[in-house]
């Protein structure tokens, strides 16, 4: 990777880490669901007029829009508004990689190797340590909401793998059109029209700046740059930089918000980031049965000829295996 590309990968991780601090500031200006709705509204407009028509079926756009935009961000923003610290949120959300692997195993038949299972166990141990740390400093209910958001993120990741969008930025911009109305409706029902109107009437430069950052800088610029890197470098080269997100998240929260980082939280960070690395950066491979898929029917599979040796003879048995299955970190969603 060129130095300029390396710096871009670090910059994207920094943007996504600092984004949690910006969200924390934005929650001082908006109710959480309204804030989330504004994020996607501004991310979609005017970008939707410049990225071209959707390049995947609408069922995938709607599915990811609901699971990622409404469920994941709804849980996370409400959890942070209820007292979940920004830095800890940036760390705990990384458990989405474990949820992604588990859901992909159940739905897509992706293999769970021993190393990946070990990584999941280590990551969940990190979540346990983080829960103990949060229990001494804030409400566990808010912690649980962010974990629920991570689980919904896992669902959206699997849907994204199924969609296999050829243009990441185009996909994300169209996905951003889906959550706007559901989030606005939920905000009116749960947060109240008076509270929403008061927030919009009292909008100042700081509040507007937070919306612009989470929409254009974090979503459009960050996701566009990440997709650009993935088109030029192997996923195994680009994906590890996402592990820097909680580092920048906790550091920026400590620097700008005065959020303390206890020794217990550092311990949770080591366990969680290490477990996520084992879970998501160790490639998996899905074997496809010959009766279900043939090379002629699908160009993504090929016939390989492993040699099976016995004391008496040597034979070749054709095996159909998947090529370029979306089990690499390239298919993970890193939008925050």
Among 58-67, 100-109, 194-203, which is the least confidently predicted range? Answer: 100-109
| Any domain includes 333 | no
Number of domains the chain contains: 1
| Any domain includes 294 | no
Return all residues near 299 (Cβ < 8 A) that are at least 6 apart: none
| Any domain includes 307 | no
| Any domain includes 180 | yes
pTM, full prediction = 0.81
Q: What is the pLDDT of residues 103-118, one digit of tens each?
A: 999 998 888 889 989 9
Q: According to the model, what pLDDT value does residue 283 have?
A: 61
How distant, in Å, are the alpha carbons of 36, 54, 267 from that of 72? 10, 22, 26
CB 190 within 8 A of CB 303: no
Return all residues near 250 (Cβ < 8 A) that are at least 6 apart: 17, 87, 88, 90, 91, 259, 261, 265, 269
| Structural domain boundaries enclosing 47 | 3-286
Rank 29-38, 215-224, 302-311 by mean pLDDT and report only the highest. 29-38
Residue whose structure tokens are 């003879």? 313
| Any domain includes 175 | yes
Q: According to the model, what pLDDT value does residue 302 have?
A: 44
């Amino acid at each position: 990777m060129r130095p300029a590309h390396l710096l871009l990968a670090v910059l994207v991780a920094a943007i996504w880490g600092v984004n949690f601090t910006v969200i924390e500031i934005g929650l001082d200006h908006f109710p959480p669901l309204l804030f989330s709705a504004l994020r996607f509204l501004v991310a979609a407009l005017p970008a939707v007029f410049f990225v071209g028509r959707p390049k995947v079926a609408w069922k995938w756009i709607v599915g990811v829009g609901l699971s990622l935009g409404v469920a994941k961000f709804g849980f996370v923003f409400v959890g942070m508004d209820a007292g979940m610290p920004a830095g800890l949120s940036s760390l705990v959300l990384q458990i989405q990689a474990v949820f992604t692997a588990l859901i992909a195993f159940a739905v897509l038949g992706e293999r769970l190797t021993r190393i990946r299972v070990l990584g999941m166990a280590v990551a969940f141990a990190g979540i346990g340590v983080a829960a103990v740390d949060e229990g001494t400093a804030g409400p566990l209910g808010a912690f649980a909401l962010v974990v629920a958001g991570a689980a919904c993120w896992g669902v959206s990741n699997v849907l994204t793998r199924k969609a296999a969008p050829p243009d990441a930025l185009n996909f994300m911009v169209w996905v951003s059109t889906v959550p706007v109305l559901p989030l606005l409706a939920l905000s009116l029902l749960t947060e109240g029209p008076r509270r929403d109107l008061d927030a919009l009437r009292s909008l100042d430069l700081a509040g507007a700046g937070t919306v612009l950052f989470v929409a254009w800088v974090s979503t459009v610029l960050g996701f566009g740059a990440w997709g650009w890197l993935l088109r030029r470098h192997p996923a195994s080269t680009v994906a590890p930089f996402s592990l820097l997100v909680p580092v920048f998240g906790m550091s920026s929260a400590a620097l700008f918000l005065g959020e303390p980082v206890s020794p217990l939280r550092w311990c949770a960070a080591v366990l969680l980031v290490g477990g996520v690395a084992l879970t998501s950066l160790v490639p998996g491979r899905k074997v496809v049965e010959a009766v279900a898929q043939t090379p002629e029917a699908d160009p993504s599979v090929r016939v390989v000829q492993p040699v099976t040796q016995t004391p008496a003879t040597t034979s070749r048995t054709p095996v159909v295996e998947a090529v370029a299955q979306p089990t690499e970190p390239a298919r993970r969603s890193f939008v925050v």
